[in-house]
């Protein structure tokens, strides 16, 4: 059996049913096997970066490992941005890359790059396969590493001769062979006891959650926990959806563009219970002034994330679901009426509002209308920038794994291919990419992929003619010197959509927003909607970079 066939059989043993990728010379023997493959569906992308983001969207929306494939050299390097995106957000993907024959490695052969060296800082692990018979064990190890502990990407580099090599028999291993890799899932009982004591003493607790709660599927346990101790809860960008937007204890997102009441609550709290979050700079602002009165309990499966940025008082290493179960079994019911009343006052005083000055549609209104019409089961991806923040602020998420967005890396061009990956994984769901007119052009060629496979992804472009978030910073902090952020008047998105075989709409009047959205949602093919929004609308509130969370800028303060 050829190495290429062994690879496909190994992938099937791991439950792989989908691969996103692009062919190339060193992969010909593998694509020869894919030609007759019945159980794994291959999706031909138009750019390898699209393949890595599709694998990511597939993984985020399902919890399964996403798989992408690219040839050697430029094909492999084109995956790097998507791999880094998955790494920063702890998303399980396995990236397969072709490589020149083992005898040519190190000789600067045609389309040769050291992809294992290039990706080493942005993967959990990577492999260069040296023998065809090693493929099954390496695949077993790779999927185990990608999906366990703190999830993340793993790369397998496959030389041409390894894929073409013959092996006498195929036996897939039952277990991974990984000396020293043993993620800690069960928490230390003494640390649980210490945490319980601190929680029971707290007068102003707040629970701060991140994407780790989604990775752990700890949704039910989290809701029981916050209700049992009556603690308000705030989320990072990647934690959105774990707690329904209308839950009385939910404060929305915190940080640079979080709600005022979430940030005020963090700053005034006497106890922060952080679960599956890493205290990144967009959340903390100035670490010297972050939560000055609070003790901190930090729950995370990755011990290297604990006390990395913010000193914590009680570290608990373990799986969020298991830790929350243990806390629930030990903790007594608590009530904090004065604290909750204080937060309710902040909510009334500082609601998220918008008033778009000048011509054009209100972007926040469009997001709210999409939320109203799409329903609770729709999957929403975003690009990066103002469109991303408006979605995080104004879309009413009620379920986890419905919001897909590049958090840590902030990858423009992520949202559309991620939506395609999510649509492949969830064929019966409505999938919508909320985009900016700058970021959508990063991977707009994947319209061809969506059309070819009849994937009815909808793209809502919030078109303001700018690289909006960069322009906002130039306005606020660089004296309105708009250096190379004006991209207005250069693109007819409707014509682009139609050229690819998708449907296209342009919306400039508020009375047409609902009508076009309803029509688009009923069309059974890809649709691109070009919403012309206020050109210089900003995202409010805002904590300036390096500022303190309690000093948030609002539009009224700058008038």
- Only one residue has tokens 């309990």, namely 297
The C-alpha atoms of residue 33 and residue 2 are separated, in whole angstroms, by 9
Rounded to 5 degrees, φ, ψ at 538 are -110, 165
The C-alpha atoms of residue 95 and residue 82 are separated, in whole angstroms, by 10
Between the CA of residue 12 and those of 9, 164, 168, 266, what are the distances in Å?
5, 19, 19, 46
Looking at residue 213, its pLDDT comes to 98
Strands (DSSP E) contained in 276-422 are 295-300, 314-317, 379-382, 403-404
Looking at residue 558, its pLDDT comes to 56
On the 0-12 / 13-18 / 19+ scale of CB atoms within 10 A, 436 is buried
Q: Which residues contact 548 (CB under 8 A, 6 or more apart)?
A: 267, 285, 286, 289, 290
What's the sign of the alpha-carbon dihedral 372, 374, 376, 380? negative
Looking at residue 357, its pLDDT comes to 64
Looking at residue 355, its pLDDT comes to 74
Hey, what domains does the chain have and what are their CATH numbers?
3-164 (3.40.50.970), 189-349 (3.40.50.1220), 363-539 (3.40.50.970)
**Rounded to the nearest 10 degrees, how much is the dihedral formed by the CA atoms of 250, 254, 260, 266?**
80
Q: How many CB atoms lie within 10 A of CB 257?
A: 21
Q: Are 395 and 418 in contact (CB under 8 A)?
A: no
- Only one residue has tokens 């679960």, namely 275
What is the per-residue DSSP string for 248-284? TTEEEE-STTS-HHHHHHHHH-SEEEEES----HHHH
What are the helix (H) ranges across 202-240?
211-215, 219-229
CA-nearest of 71, 60, 59, 80 to 15 is 59
Between the CA of residue 299 and those of 38, 195, 212, 228, what are the distances in Å?
43, 10, 9, 18
Q: Are 449 and 512 in contact (CB under 8 A)?
A: no
Between the CA of residue 92 and those of 18, 82, 345, 396, 439, what are the distances in Å?
14, 12, 41, 26, 24
Looking at residue 557, its pLDDT comes to 58
Residues labelled as active-site residues = 48, 110-111, 160, 469
Q: Name the percent of the chain in helix, strand, coil, to the closest 5.
A: 40, 15, 40
What is the per-residue DSSP string for 295-310? EEEEEES-GGGTTSSS
Q: Please compute Rg for the chain using Cα positions.
A: 24
Q: Is the whole-model pTM more than 0.85? A: yes
235 three-class SS = strand
What is the per-residue DSSP string for 481-519? ---S-B-TT---HHHHHHHHT-EEEEE-SGGGHHHHHHH
Looking at residue 356, its pLDDT comes to 67
- Which DSSP symbol is given to 331? P
Measured between its terminal Cα atoms, the distance across the chain in Å is 72
- Which DSSP symbol is given to 166? B
Please state the separation of Cα 419 from the chain's center in Å.
11
**Which parts of the chain sit beneath pLDDT 50?**
559
């Amino acid at each position: 059996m050829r190495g290429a066939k062994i690879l496909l059989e190994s992938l099937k043993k791991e439950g792989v049913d989908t691969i996103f990728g692009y062919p190339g010379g060193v992969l010909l023997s593998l694509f020869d096997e894919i030609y007759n493959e019945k159980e794994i569906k291959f999706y031909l992308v138009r750019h390898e970066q699209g393949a890595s983001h599709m694998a990511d969207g597939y993984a985020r929306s399902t919890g399964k490992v996403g798989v992408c494939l690219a040839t050697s050299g430029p094909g492999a390097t084109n995956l790097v941005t998507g791999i880094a995106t998955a790494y920063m957000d702890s998303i399980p993907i396995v990236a397969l890359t072709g490589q020149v024959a083992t005898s040519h490695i190190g000789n600067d052969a045609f389309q040769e790059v050291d992809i294992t060296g290039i990706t080493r800082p942005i993967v959990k692990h990577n492999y260069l396969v040296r023998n065809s018979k090693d493929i099954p064990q390496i695949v077993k190890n790779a999927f185990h590493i990608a999906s366990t502990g703190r999830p993340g990407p793993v790369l397998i580099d496959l030389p041409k001769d390894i894929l073409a090599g013959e092996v006498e028999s195929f036996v897939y291993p039952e277990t991974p062979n990984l000396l020293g890799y043993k993620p800690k899932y069960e928490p230390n009982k003494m640390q649980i006891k210490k945490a319980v004591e601190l929680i029971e003493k707290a007068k102003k607790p707040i629970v701060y959650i991140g994407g780790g709660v989604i990775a752990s599927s700890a949704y039910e346990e989290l809701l029981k926990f916050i209700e049992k101790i009556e603690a308000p809860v705030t989320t990072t960008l990647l934690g959105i959806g774990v707690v329904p937007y209308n839950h009385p204890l939910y404060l929305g997102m915190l940080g640079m563009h979080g709600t005022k009441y979430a940030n005020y609550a963090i700053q005034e709290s006497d106890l922060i219970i952080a679960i599956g979050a890493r205290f990144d700079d967009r959340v903390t602002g100035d670490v010297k002034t972050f939560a000055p009165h609070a003790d901190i309990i930090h729950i995370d499966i990755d011990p290297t994330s604990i006390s990395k940025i913010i000193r914590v008082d009680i570290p608990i290493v373990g799986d969020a679901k298991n830790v929350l179960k243990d806390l629930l079994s030990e903790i007594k019911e608590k009530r904090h009426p004065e604290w909750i009343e204080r937060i309710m006052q902040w909510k009334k005083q500082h609601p998220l509002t918008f008033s778009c000055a000048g011509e054009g549609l209100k972007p926040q209104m469009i997001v709210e209308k999409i939320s109203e019409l799409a329903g609770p089961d729709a999957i929403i991806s975003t690009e990066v920038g103002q469109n991303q923040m408006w979605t995080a602020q104004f879309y009413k998420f009620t379920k986890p794994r419905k919001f897909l967005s590049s958090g840590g890396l902030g990858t423009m061009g992520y949202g559309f291919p991620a939506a395609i990956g999510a649509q492949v994984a969830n064929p019966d769901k409505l999938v919508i990419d909320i985009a900016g007119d700058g970021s959508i052009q990063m991977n707009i060629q994947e319209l061809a992929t969506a059309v070819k496979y009849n994937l009815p992804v909808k793209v809502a472009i919030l078109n303001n003619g700018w690289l909006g978030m960069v322009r906002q910073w130039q306005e606020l902090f660089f004296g309105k010197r708009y250096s190379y952020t004006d991209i207005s008047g250069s693109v007819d998105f409707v014509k682009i959509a139609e050229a690819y075989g998708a449907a296209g709409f342009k919306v400039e009047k508020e009375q047409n927003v609902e009508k076009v959205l309803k029509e688009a949602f009923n069309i059974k093919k890809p649709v691109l909607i070009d919403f012309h929004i206020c050109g210089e609308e900003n995202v409010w509130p805002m904590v300036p970079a390096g500022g303190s969370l309690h000093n948030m800028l609002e539009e009224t303060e700058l008038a």
